Amino acid sequence: MRLHSFGPSPSASVPPEQLAPDLWRIKVPLPFRLREVNLYLVRGSHGYDLIDAGIDTPEARAAFNAALRELRLHESDIGRVYVTHMHPDHIGMSGRRAKAGSRIFLMADEERRARFVWGTEPLSDWIAYTREHGAGGEIAKGIVIAVNSIRRAVSLPDRFEHLRDGDVVEAGKRRLRVVWTPGHSDYHYVLVDDDARVIFCGDQLLPAITPNIGLYPECRPNPLEDFLWSLGRFEREAAYTVLPGHGANYATLPQRIGQFQVHHDERLAGVRARVASGDGGGVTAYEIVKHFWGDALSTHEVRFALVEVVAHLEYMRLRGEISREDREGVRRYAL
């Protein structure tokens, strides 16, 4: 087990990439194995708007400011920032953008989660959660250190303006439709430009990896069911181009949705097989993490793996496929 979990970001900045006459992609480095996040800058008649804010690290700030200089812009030129969800690589610099004069938009219930997770959530919740699912004290301690380090990379504004499913908002001269897509985060949303046939998808529809679908201590009870349901919201956008939060654009959305569904079917089958192979005492989520990944993960990655395994276990339990027993403070799953 690698205990380091949150290191320096890559320092080299990448010039902004122009995708359309009014649209640029800005790549901001991340201190994780996933090395960068995409922000989208949209030009209008009276300034610029931004989709997602990026993480708040020195390297990310330097890369973002370098991109603005390349475009001969200032922070004060950004009027609105649409934050797709509360994860640090998307919300982290929202407080800085607000201090520079931007209006910051998020779903109301996602704001409540953001303020709890990045502000008031007792780190003891993570110790209890980790132990409840079978991990030892060293793992719990490492996860607490990882969560605490990530908190330092998030600055929240004093005020968010709230979006609802079905709202139509403006970014530059574009009219964007808000679509609620829970699963990766409880109140994640995407922005759909029906005129340009484009989806700004945050982390919902990533091209090369599957978004982490995890059951966190404070989230909705069945995130995998939420995610699979939300994939069904894109039937009319089958021919649209997807602009993701990580990775390159693509225009094969139905095939990609099929790949997500196959991935989770396979993961469910693997988790179910491991549960079936356990003795009469059942298995813990952490035992399943070790089964799939061994010692290859850092504690930051163990946290993601653990919550994802729990999400798959709870999906099956709530469908009546497996059972759960809480014994001496530890949750064990069995057929």
**pLDDT band (50, 70, 90) for residue 1:** very low
CATH number of the domain bearing residue 91: 3.60.15.10
CB atoms within 10 A of CB 246: 19
The total number of structural domains that make up the chain: 1
Across 138-153, average pLDDT: 91
- Over the stretch 241-288, which tens digit does the pLDDT of each residue have? 999 999 999 999 999 999 999 999 999 999 999 999 987 889 999 999
- Over the stretch 275-292, which tens digit does the pLDDT of each residue have? 999 878 899 999 999 999
Residue 6 inside a domain? The answer is: no
Residue 300 inside a domain? The answer is: no
Residue 151 inside a domain? The answer is: yes
Whole-angstrom Cα Rg for the chain: 20
Predicted local confidence at residue 46, as pLDDT = 87
Residue 284 inside a domain? The answer is: no
Residue 96 inside a domain? The answer is: yes
**Alpha-carbon distance 102 to 78, whole Å?**
6
- Displacement of CA 138 from its chain's centroid (Å): 26
Predicted local confidence at residue 3, as pLDDT = 35
Higher pLDDT, 17 or 136: 17
Domain that holds residue 189: 17-260
Q: Using DSSP, state whether 203 is helix, strand or coil.
A: coil
Residue 7 inside a domain? The answer is: no
Predicted local confidence at residue 127, as pLDDT = 93
- Beta-carbon contacts of 140 under 8 Å, excluding residues fewer than 6 positions away, are 126, 127, 130, 131
Q: Which of 95, 89, 32, 31 is nearest to 59 (CA)?
A: 31
Residue 28 inside a domain? The answer is: yes
Residue 272 inside a domain? The answer is: no
Is the whole-model pTM more than 0.85? yes
